[in-house]
Amino acid sequence: MPPTLCSSLAMPVLDGRVVLESTLSCPHCGTTKLETMPTDACQFFYDCTGCSAVLRPNPGDCCVFCSFGTVPCPPIQASGSSRPCCGSESA
């Protein structure tokens, strides 16, 4: 079975299993850090450990992992969709 893709990020979900770790990359300073994603909520804010910038999701994304991570958040992975997962609506 081919991997499912999050269309906004074109990233695979491995064999239908939800991946719980994602590497966040700061768009301001380039710092990367492996983080464990919450499974019960979207993470709207992330404090960069390199430059202290507060990252927020890009328009149309539900969380910082969908915007700046190597793997989309668990709800998006599980749904196989790029639609907002936490009740947020795209403009």
Q: What is the mean pLDDT of each run of 10 residues along the chain (91 residues)?
A: 38 68 97 93 93 96 94 84 55 38
Which two structure tokens, joined as six digits, stand for 15?
């064999």
pLDDT at 76 (0 to 100): 85
pLDDT at 77 (0 to 100): 83
